[in-house]
Amino acid sequence: MITEETNPHSKEIDALSIQEIIRIMNEENLLVTEAVKAASDPISLAVRDAVNAIRSGGRLIYIGAGTSGRLGVLDASEIPPTFNVSPDLVRGLIAGGNRALTEAIEGAEDDENTGIEAVSGVSEKDMLIGITASGTTPFTISALRVGKTHGAKCWLLTCNDVEYDFPDGIIKLLVGPEIIAGSTRLKAGTATKIVLNMISTAAMIQLGEVYQGYMVDVVPSNKKLRSRAIRIIREITGCGDEEAEALMDRSGGNAKTAILMRLKGLSREEAKGLLERSDGSLRKALGEGLSPFRKGG
C-alpha cells in the first residue's frame, strides 16, 4: 500500500537539522494540493450526491477510524454554527465512539461488527462517505457495504489506489508515501481535511447557505459572530451600523432574513416566508439569476 511505503526523501531525516526536516515536510506537502486537484471530478460528483441526499430529506454521514474518523467528526461539528443547519444534517461517526476523539482505542478500526452497527439507521435518503487513508479499514469498509444494502449513496475517500465494485464512487488522494512511513496523520490527513471541507462547503453553497461569499446563515452565538452577522448585513445592503444592528434584532438574529427585510421592505414573517418558498436561497428570494460564470450544478 502507498500509505505504508517508505519515502526516499526522508530516509536520513532523523539525522537532519530542524530546518532540513521542515524543508522536506514543506516540499512533501506541496504534493497534497496536486493530489486534490487531480481528484476534482470525483469530488464534484460526491458534492452532487450530497446535495441530492440533503434535498431529499437525508443526511451526509462521515464514518472512519483514527485520524480519518476524527477529521470527519471535526468537519461535521463545524457545519451547524457556520451555516445554521441541524446538527443531524452532517454527522461524523468514529470507531470507538466519542472516547476515540482524544485517545487511541486499540482494535476499534478492525471491528467489522461495530461498523455495521454504526450505520444501522442509514436509509436510502442518506449519503455515506467512508474515510480511510489505507482504503482497507474493516470498520469503515463494512459500514459502507451495509450502508449500500440500505440504499444509501456510498462513497469511499482514500489515499491508496484501491478498487471496489460496490461504492457509488471513490475519491483517491494519491499524495504518496509519508515522511514517516504509515503516519497518515501527515499528508493523507491534510488532503482528507481539504476534501471534506470542499464537499461540505460546496454542498452548503449549493443549498443556498452562502450569498456573495458571505455566510449569511451564521449563528450569532457570541460577540464575534454577532459582529460578523451585523457586518454582513451592512455590507450587502449598504445600510449603516445602527440600522444593521436594528435589523439583526428585528430579524430574530438571522442575517439572511434581515437582508431580505431591508432590500425587499418586508416584515420578518414575510421575509421568512419568501425564503421558505425560495428553498432558503437568498439569491433566489431576491430574484437574482445564477452567475453567467456558473458551470455544472
N residues, the chain: 297
Answer CATH for 223-285 from 3.40.30.10, 1.10.630.10, 1.10.8.1080, 1.25.40.10: 1.10.8.1080
Q: What is the pLDDT of residue 288?
A: 81
In the residue annotation, 34 being an active-site residue is answered as no
What sections of 100-240 are H helices per DSSP? 112-118, 138-149, 187-206, 223-237
Percentage of the chain lying above the pLDDT 90 cut: 92
Q: What is the pLDDT of residue 106?
A: 77
In the residue annotation, 269 being an active-site residue is answered as no
> Which residue pairs from 186-190 have beta carbons closer than 8 angstroms and sit at least 24 positions apart in sequence?
186/25, 186/28, 187/28, 187/29, 187/31, 187/32, 187/159, 188/3, 188/67, 188/133, 188/159, 189/67, 189/68, 189/71, 189/133, 190/29, 190/32
Q: What is the mean pLDDT of residues 183-191?
A: 97
Distance (Å, rounded) from C-alpha 210 to C-alpha 105?
38
Q: Are 2-206 and 223-285 in the same CATH fold?
A: no
Q: What is the pLDDT of residue 289?
A: 62
Sequence spans of domains, the chain: 2-206, 223-285
Residues 106-144 have pLDDT tens digits of 789 999 999 999 999 999 999 999 999 999 999 999 999
Cβ–Cβ under 8 Å, residues 155 and 145: no
Q: What is the mean pLDDT of residues 219-245?
A: 95
pTM: 0.91
Q: What class, spelled out in words, does domain 2-206 have in CATH?
A: alpha beta
Percentage of the chain lying above the pLDDT 70 cut: 97
Average pLDDT, the chain: 94
293 pLDDT tier (thresholds 50, 70, 90): very low
Among 78, 112, 243, 270, the one annotated catalytic: 78
**Short-list 155, 148, 129, CA closest to 62:** 129
Distance (Å, rounded) from C-alpha 27 to C-alpha 88?
39
Residues 10-40 have pLDDT tens digits of 999 999 999 999 999 999 999 999 999 999 9
Q: What is the mean pLDDT of residues 229-244?
A: 96
Residues 145-178 have pLDDT tens digits of 999 999 999 999 999 999 999 999 999 999 999 9
Cβ–Cβ under 8 Å, residues 137 and 64: yes
Where does residue 8 fall: left (phi above 0), alpha (psi -120 to 50 degrees), or beta otherwise? alpha
Q: 93: which strand partners?
A: 63
Q: What is the pLDDT of residue 291?
A: 54
| The residue type at 109 | E
Residue 297, pLDDT above cutoff 50: no
Cβ–Cβ under 8 Å, residues 190 and 168: no
pLDDT higher at 40 or 296: 40
Cβ–Cβ under 8 Å, residues 248 and 233: yes
Looking at residue 111, what DSSP letter applies?
A: -
Among 109, 178, 209, 245, the one annotated catalytic: 109
Residues 190-218 have pLDDT tens digits of 999 999 999 999 999 999 999 999 999 99
290 pLDDT tier (thresholds 50, 70, 90): low
**Short-list 77, 290, 30, CA closest to 197:** 77
